[in-house]
Chains A and B, each alone.
Chain A
Amino acid sequence: EVQLVESGGGLVQPGRSLKLSCAASGFTFSNYYMAWVRQAPKKGLEWVATISTSGSRTYYPDSVKGRFTISRDNAKSSLYLQMNSLKSEDTATYYCARHDAGARYFDYWGQGVMVTVSS
């Protein structure tokens, strides 16, 4: 059974940093692209970052490019999101998601972790 378990969320002040983690199990982690998707309170979904199987390629929307860094450790079946220079608009539930075998869509999602950016 595919499982994605996020951790590392919490309350952080504007301008500070936070690192999220996602522990994957139930599949061969190194074979899949992985992603982070967020959802602000009572709002819709926003794709945040994607990383290739080896970690050599990463993709971001402009809203987080230069502030967020996605990375992975295939030996530990773990995905990370380093978030720097956090803003109030980054407040959201952050989901770890697996891309499908063709690296197209998100086929499995974690339960999400809440990040609140506030002074």
Chain B
Amino acid sequence: DIQMTQSPASLSASPEEIVTITCQASQDIGNWLAWYQQKPGKSPQLLIYSATSLADGIPSRFSGSRSGTQYSLKISRLQVEDTGIYYCLQRYSNPWTFGGGTKLELK
């Protein structure tokens, strides 16, 4: 199975700051990666797909990038509503696996 190691496990940042969350794949997964946001008490929402493509209705403050087998989610100009847990998902091979999650809190 492909392991997705997500870091950091948690972080705290102030509004308007820039944060970056990363996922390291245990093997090559190409661009078969997505990012999700899960707000407290809610179901996950797709943010980024195919490593770098912004999902419909998602603000351009969110962006995705790839360097080899490391994938990053960057959130610019943090807003209070960005609080939640962020997960990556590899869709390259069965079983499709999620990262362990990054809990983002706003100061």
Contacts and interface: CB of A to CB of B under 8 A. Distances in A.
B71 interface: no
A92 B32 CA distance: 26
B76 to A, nearest CB: 23
Contacts of A95: 43-44
A104 to B, nearest CB: 5
B105 to A, nearest CB: 16
Given A45-B87, A61-B94, A62-B95, A105 B46 contact: yes
B49 A100 contact: yes
B49 A104 contact: yes
A75 B68 CA distance: 44
A44 B34 contact: no
Given A44-B101, A100-B49, A109 B96 contact: no
Contact of B94 (A37, A59, A105, A106): A59
| Main secondary structure on B side of the interface with A | loop
A101 B36 CA distance: 17
Nearest to B91: A104
Interface residues of A, number: 19
A107 B55 contact: yes
A104 B53 CA distance: 13
A110 interface: yes
A46 interface: yes
B32 A104 contact: yes
Interface of B: 32, 34, 36, 38, 42-46, 49-50, 55, 87, 89, 91, 94-101
10 contacts: A44-B98, A45-B87, A45-B101, A47-B89, A47-B95, A61-B94, A61-B95, A63-B95, A95-B43, A105-B49
Shortest 7 CB-CB distances between A and B: which pairs? A61-B95, A109-B43, A45-B98, A105-B34, A47-B96, A105-B49, A44-B101
